[in-house]
């Protein structure tokens, strides 16, 4: 079993149905996201608190619906978690350096 297959099987166990869209250019499409165990509630300079959610999205899921790499400003909508605007994207790599998924942080 390849790392990508194991990655996708693990995400399958913890997935949620959601939509992702890029305002003005790409219509909303149905995808599966996996909430990350990492939760942000960080205190920054001058006692500023940054709250947000983090999700993992499989590249194969995005490829299956012809959605490009997530981009800052994309909107992920979840029935329970509501509207989440993507603020940061980190690629997740296979052993060979191929992108297998994205960790997206939302505001």
Q: How confident is the model over 5-38, as pLDDT tens digits?
A: 999 998 999 899 999 999 988 999 999 999 986 5
DSSP-derived letter for residue 81 is T
Q: What is the pLDDT of residue 24?
A: 85
- Judged against a pLDDT cut of 80, whether residue 2 lies above it is answered with yes
Q: What is the pLDDT of residue 17?
A: 96
| Interval 56-87: pLDDT, tens | 999 999 999 999 999 999 999 999 989 999 99
Q: What is the pLDDT of residue 55?
A: 94
Contacts for 33 with CB less than 8 Å, ≥ 6 apart = 15, 16, 18, 55, 56, 57, 76, 78
d(CA 84, CA 5): 27
**Domain extents for the chain?**
3-106
pLDDT band at 97 (very low <50, low <70, confident <90, very high): very high
């Amino acid at each position: 079993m390849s790392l990508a297959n194991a990655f996708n099987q693990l995400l399958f166990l913890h997935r949620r149905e959601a939509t992702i869209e890029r305002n003005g250019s790409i219509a909303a499409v149905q995808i599966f996201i996996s909430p990350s165990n990492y939760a942000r509630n960080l205190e920054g300079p001058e006692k500023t608190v940054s709250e947000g959610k983090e999700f993992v999205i499989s590249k194969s899921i995005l490829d299956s619906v012809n959605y490009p790499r997530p981009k800052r400003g994309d909107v992920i909508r979840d029935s329970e978690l509501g509207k989440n605007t993507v603020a940061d994207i980190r690629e997740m790599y296979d052993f060979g350096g191929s992108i297998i998924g994205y960790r997206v942080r939302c505001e």
